[in-house]
Amino acid sequence: MAGTRTLAIIKPDAFGAGKAGKIIALLEEKGFVLKAARILHLSKEQAQSFYEVHAARPFYGELVEFMTSGPCMPMVLEKAGAVAAMREAIGATDPAEAAEGTVRKLYAESKGRNAIHASDSDENAALEAKFFFPELA
């Protein structure tokens, strides 16, 4: 039985530190199936558009700057209940609060440099996947 899909992005901190393979392996061990992936360096305009939902938040400028600081790796992954399962697999935004064995506990540097982005709802997963992988829509 096919699962649902979600989007995750290995952020520039983890990608630049050579952690992409370990993160993908961890997600596959948790039952996710990688359906699409690419490596790209976001432009300021792309990052601003993708994170537009946060434009009024105080961290928006810093987030855009961080996400354009180096290559990242957006991925579409599939699993039953993919969005909730991914949120559980990556852990809390602050790695100090993340559960043992989660991506952020293992690979994040800080709350701002937290290794991975994951969609927070099925609706956002579809929109975010389409942003990076329009060919899958």
**What is the pLDDT of the chain when averaged over all its residues?**
96
φ and ψ at residue 36, rounded to 5 degrees = -160, 150
Tell me if residue 41 is catalytic.
no
Per-residue pLDDT at 137: 66
Q: How is the chain split into domains, by residue range?
A: 4-41+72-136
Please report which helix (H) or strand (E) contains residue 79, including its range. strand 73-79
Q: Which of 85, 117, 119, 128 is catalytic?
A: 117
| CATH classification number, 4-41+72-136, choose in 3.30.2130.30, 3.90.1150.10, 1.10.275.10, 3.30.70.141 | 3.30.70.141
User: What does the pLDDT average to over 51-72?
Assistant: 96
Q: Is 83 exposed, middle or buried (0-12, 13-18, 19+ CB in 10 A)?
A: buried
Residues 64-84 pLDDT 10s: 999 999 999 999 999 999 999
Q: Which residues of 93-124 are buried (b: 16+ CB within 10 A; e: fewer)?
A: eebeebeeebbbbbbbeeeeebbbbbbeeeee
Of 55-59, 77-81, 133-137, which gets the smallest average pLDDT? Answer: 133-137
Q: What is the Cα–Cα distance from 108 to 46, expressed in whole angstroms?
A: 23
What digits encode the pLDDT tens for the residues 7-48? 999 999 999 999 999 999 999 999 999 999 999 999 999 999
